[in-house]
Amino acid sequence: MDSNARSSQACSSLLDWSQYGLELKALQLPTVEAMMDAVDPLSCSLILIGMGNPDFGMELCERIRRISRVPIILLGGRGDFPLMRRALALQVSDCILHPVQARDLHDSLKALTNRLGLTAGPAADDGASGEHGVPAAEPIIETVKQYVEQELHHNITLKKISALLHFNCAYLGQKFKCHVHMSFNEYLLQQRMEKAKALLENTDMRIYEIARRVGYTEIDWFYKNFKAYTGASANEYRKQLIDSA
């Protein structure tokens, strides 16, 4: 089931669905009611919903969840935090963000194999499940990353994010490290420092303004972390950029 014709056509050609024990039925209908009339969720093993129109896609997802717990994969969304939070609340199995790649879709289907009782499908070249053999990134991980990106200028803690998403903090921390291969705090520091570097390179903002932009209220703490991360103070880093220009 799809709210976007191009998503359906692309999805049909990405994989040989028969090798996963699935027969893909792609639909593009103008209303959610028409979608629900055309397909009975109770008879489906898996539902894919294109997110070309996020409001349409989420309404369709909500309607399905009223009557069925069938696994749902959302395809082609942009991953904004409010939408991802709604998707998590509806217990979607995965959200594959735009652009949808065959490898990501294969990994998602492989992760669902045991639950669906399907064949695993063909193995992807070069390790489809990732360099370290973990499953494709789960919706919760993408949501956490999106939250960090949007709220980088504020105080961010995993405890706060866990409360917003109704997750156990310790469990979310373990899951995040499993998929990202670093702790949440390490990831947060990386994102703040990389953003600070970009601002030093591309703007004339003062150091204290940059520190605030990346979430530091204490300038000394920003200076300490920046030097530990880059090997140079913020002023030295900017001077090096000027000298090399």
Tokens representing 135? 């499953």
Rg, the chain, Cα only: 21
Q: How far apart are CA 152 and CA 154, in angstroms?
A: 5
Domain boundaries, the chain: 5-126, 189-244
pLDDT of residue 28 exceeding 60:
yes
Residues forming a β-bridge with 73: 48, 94
| Domain 5-126: top CATH class | alpha beta
* Dihedrals phi, psi of 7, to nearest 5 degrees: -65, -40
Q: What is the pLDDT of residues 44-94, one digit of tens each?
A: 888 999 888 999 999 999 999 999 888 899 888 777 778 888 888 888 888
User: What's the first-to-final CA gap in the chain, in angstroms?
Assistant: 53
Residue 100: name the closest of 75, 129, 121 by CA: 75
Same fold, 5-126 and 189-244: no
CATH tag, 189-244: 1.10.10.60
Q: What is the pLDDT of residues 203-228, one digit of tens each?
A: 999 999 999 999 999 999 999 999 99
Tokens representing 208? 């204290």
Please state, in angstroms and as integers, the Cα–Cα distance from residue 3 to each residue in 14, 22, 43, 56, 196, following that order: 18, 20, 20, 7, 39
Place of tokens 């055309």: 38
